[in-house]
Amino acid sequence: MKKDPRVQFGNQIRTLRKKKGWSQERLALEADMDRSYVGGVEQGRRNISLINIYRLAKTLKVKPSKLLE
């Protein structure tokens, strides 16, 4: 069975965030999002909107497509 794409997306966000040495709180602050929302995204519990994908990509300094790998 394939992994839920929300979980895969969340894992990618977590990996990129940790490479920067950032906490969820720091990522949320930089992206102007709530920390609990970022946590939910990383855990695959949120069906993130396109606008928030772009916001996180910009904050992490990657192309949005990188978050979908």
For the cut 90, the answer to whether the pLDDT of residue 16 exceeds it is: yes
Q: Which CATH architecture has domain 5-60?
A: Orthogonal Bundle (1.10)
Three-class SS of 1-42: CCCCHHHHHHHHHHHHHHHCCCCHHHHHHHHCCCHHHHHHHH
pTM of the model: 0.90
* Structural domain spans, the chain: 5-60
Give the tens place of pLDDT for each residue, 37-60.
999 999 999 999 999 999 999 999
